[in-house]
Amino acid sequence: SDLAVVEVVGSGMKNKIENIGAATAVSARTMTQLPVNGRNFTTLMDLSPLSRGGSISGQLGSSTNYTIDGMNAKNPTSAGATTSRSGAPYSISIEAVREFKVVTNQYDVTYGRSGGGTVSAVTKSGTNKLTGAAFTYGRANQLASKYDIRGNRRYNDYSTYQYGFSLGGPIIKDKLHFFIAWDHQQDNRSLVIADVQSPADENRFNITRATLDNFVQIARDQYGVSSKPQFGSFDKRRGSDAAFARIDWQINSKNLLTIRNNFTSDRNKLGLVDNTAINLYESTGNDFNRDNSLLATLRTSINSKFTNELKVQHLYTYQSSEPGDELPSANIPRAVVENVTSVIDGQTRSTSIQLGGHRFAQENFDNNVFQIVDNIYYNTNKVKYTFGFDAMYTRSHSRYGSEVNGRFHYNGLAAFQNNQPYRYYREVPLLADPSVVGNIFNFGVYGQLQTDLAPGLNLTAGLRLDYAHYPKSPLNQIVFDDLGLRTDNKLKSFVVQPRFQFTWDVNEEHKDYIRFGAGIFASDINNYVTINNLVFDGYHSATVDVRSPNIPAVDFAAYRANPSTAPTLQAFQLPTINTNGDDARVPVMYKANFSYSHYFTAKLKAGISGYMTLGRNNYMYVDRNMVATPYFTLAQEGGRGVYVPLNTMPANGAGDWLQGRVSNRLGRVLELNSKGKVNQFALVADATWQYFRDGDVTVSYTWNDSRDNTSFNGNVANTATLSLPVRDDPRDLSKMSYSDNMFRHKVVVYGTLPTFLGITVGVRYSGIGGTRYSLLSGANSNADFVSGQNDLAYVFDSKNNGVPQNVRDGLQAIMDNPNASQSIKDYITKYSGGIAERNGGMNGFYGIWDLRISKKFKIHNTHNFEISGDLFNVANMLNRQWGTNKSLGSQALYALGIPAANGNPAQPNFDVANARYNYRVNTAGIANPSGDPFQLQIGLRYNF
């Protein structure tokens, strides 16, 4: 049979029964009619009722697969799309996308390494008709709000310009077709760093302008920081390109060969912001990315029953993270000044400020991925069969960079002014070339059948087998001798995945559809864990972590002149180990869903769906060189354990984790286990109405519940313990609580008005509520490796006379503050007198309306000129207080140390005699508004 290109022009709702309750599909036509911010089609992922950011069905972001034309388009270093690590606006030009789909519950065995779901794009091809477009889209200062999202006046210029073209058609009619597209974006916007302009900003940032000025002056006088501004709003420019080319060659009546290439480039200067609360301008790094995918597909019609499709792809990705232009290219250490205090509204508040180099602005990753997929389709009169295999080889060359430049810790402005750090930390490379090479092999085989069991009842059932081979570390004899742990364990990765899907067209009337499916899905692990395990094998890198009197002399002027003078302290180097546990395996998802849909007419459908997704074997690092039980407990904090001896606790409260090790010959020994799990349940009600001509609207409401025992998604191993707030033991994974990916409610509305006089209007709304956050203690309460970011707050009872008066007054001030979030008040009230629950705080509902209006002017035949306007965040244009996300993130409820006041002497951060921390309340409970103010985008487009 002839395999000539067929153009599908129908858009009937009943043509997509397989998507009911299983996937959200967006056509190229819909993409052109809806407002798409940045023309980045992946933002349409938000239209799925089960998505939140990069997470689908409540699962880890690394459990979401990304494909273009059915082949891997996932970042080989970590997770997300190929460009996800940089946040580039394009992973492919929207001009080249024919269909975009978010798959959550389709049980087809061709979906591999996709536990949470799959985000897929199918590209356009040329036809016998020559078509093309040239376009430009622009957002500029004059077309955007004069105010930032906080309501403060903006003084920096802002603009985003996109331009490009697409062209497709025949080279040889009915034989050889082409399609090409190019998209360029020049983005100019503000980088905002502690832009304190009002008393409200002081409360949000926990610092006054005077304190900031004082800090920067010290940094200039003593640490070599330049005379350029270091906080406020700064111009930031970013350039991005996406180029696409595709050729379809009908070799003969049985063979169709497709070759396509997709290239992206992103130059993101000032795109890397570090993880301290406030980072000076010089600490902001640059990020550069290039990706290229070359795919060849041969589709062969063997006979009327057999079709074979062979795909071969080479994917290349490159990322380089570099220091900002004010620093040497080799990077310098950073200085983190903690407990920088300001008096705000009569209360002492504190924050942390950083100068120096970005912590990982010396790393780069380049990856080569080779993939072969072959599918055989065999159709009989009664059964459709699919058989195939999927083989993928990844070669990753990685130069790990996190904390390689080193960091000094200071406690307060006085110590900073006197250049008296209390700690120095660095990951020191031991080899001239510390980069590592990882070789990963993935292989899957599968088969399925699709048949009608009875009138109207269809069954799809299949089996997929996946195996992966990951690199392992060598045996470290010291770890084995001292801890009894092997460091040469393999990651177990063979997964058997049965799947099935029933679809029942009740009475074959094409009005009522009942669908039920279930299956097992092997997920992908975040490949960054293999980088961790190869780098931290005891031979590539060593950890330096010293306190007084072993801290080296600090000379930032010398580091700036010659970065190689940064201290390495060979005498204090300890091997840090990252390794697989003996039970480490790839994550697995157990999925099931049920849906009922009713077609009132051929153009009006409503339905309800229920979902269950159970994630198991999720990965987590735990420290096996940390003592098993606490040395002492904090009686005033519910018996919270502390994992260093009491007599080693300093007055500044910064317990030294080195005093709580099992083996003094080793640093941290982080073992990757598979004890992570996620339980997600959701109900979705949805409706679609094609109400008049080409006007349509789709509405969905989601009720969701996601709980887990860790939300660690990667990348650096230390992040595992940093990202899991705990009572005391960071290795305890026994407790399930709300996930970082949790949301309770989600509402999605999108659609178009009927075209009138060439005018098309598209509307899009997405709202989400019930996201979660944690209250932290603001101290390293358990004295583990993580400094104050993984310790849940003990919420003191403000009505208990035994609680220090300053804490009682501070908590009551939050409750009495009309500007404080009701959410944090409820959180404090619920857990008063106990340890706050992880993710126990619940945010309210927040949503954004976007609008697109376009008008086509016919010129001649198929030639037309289109002018369009996209208004993003419509509500914010009407009122600058609207359309702002006032959600709270995890934050410290307290800070340590009580300044002298009212004749009372100052109290240290930690009271050794009474074995307790001296807290003061360090938050006003006011949300820092986030999001983007309204922007108007004007587009000009010529089509033919």
Domain ranges (residues) in the chain: 13-195+231-323+358-400+435-538+575-626+661-708+741-771+846-882+930-943
Contacts of 805 (CB under 8 A, 6+ apart): none
Structural Rg of the chain based on CA atoms: 29
Phi/psi of residue 724, each to 5°?
Answer: -115, 95
How far is Cα 529 from Cα 400, in angstroms, rounded to an integer? Answer: 12
Which pLDDT value is given to residue 12? 65
How far is Cα 649 from Cα 647, in angstroms, rounded to an integer? Answer: 6
**Of 820, 704, 818, the residue nearest 769 (C-alpha):** 704
Task: Decide the pairing of beta strands 775-776 and 891-892.
Answer: parallel
**Which CATH code is given to the segment(s) 13-195+231-323+358-400+435-538+575-626+661-708+741-771+846-882+930-943?**
2.40.170.20
How far is Cα 500 from Cα 461, in angstroms, rounded to an integer? Answer: 4
Amino acid letter, 791 = D
User: How is residue 542 written in tokens?
Assistant: 């060593």
What is the CA 656 to chain-centroid distance, rounded? 31
CB atoms within 10 A of CB 245: 16
Q: Length of the chain, please?
A: 944
Please, are residues 283 and 215 in contact by the beta-carbon 8 Å criterion?
no
Mean pLDDT of residues grouped by 10 in the chain (944 residues)? 40 78 93 90 92 95 95 92 85 95 97 94 97 96 89 83 97 98 93 91 92 98 97 93 98 97 97 96 97 98 96 98 96 97 91 97 96 98 97 96 96 97 96 95 98 97 97 95 97 95 97 98 93 95 96 97 97 97 96 98 97 98 98 97 98 96 97 98 98 96 98 92 95 97 98 95 98 97 93 97 95 95 97 98 97 96 96 96 94 93 89 96 91 95 97
Per the DSSP assignment, residues forming a β-bridge with 458 are 452, 503
How far is Cα 405 from Cα 419, in angstroms, rounded to an integer? Answer: 19
Quick check: helix, strand or coil at residue 18? helix
Amino acid letter, 554 = V
What is residue 144's DSSP assignment?
B
Residue 941: its H or E element: strand 935-943
Amino acid letter, 349 = R
Task: Provide the phi-psi class of 87: left if phi over 0, else alpha when psi is between -120 and 50, else beta.
Answer: left
Quick check: helix, strand or coil at residue 704? strand
**Of 612, 607, 823, the residue nearest 704 (C-alpha):** 612
Task: Provide the phi-psi class of 770: left if phi over 0, else alpha when psi is between -120 and 50, else beta.
Answer: left
How far is Cα 78 from Cα 530, in angstroms, rounded to an integer? Answer: 10
How far is Cα 432 from Cα 423, in angstroms, rounded to an integer? Answer: 26
Per the DSSP assignment, residues forming a β-bridge with 323 are none
What is residue 565's DSSP assignment?
G
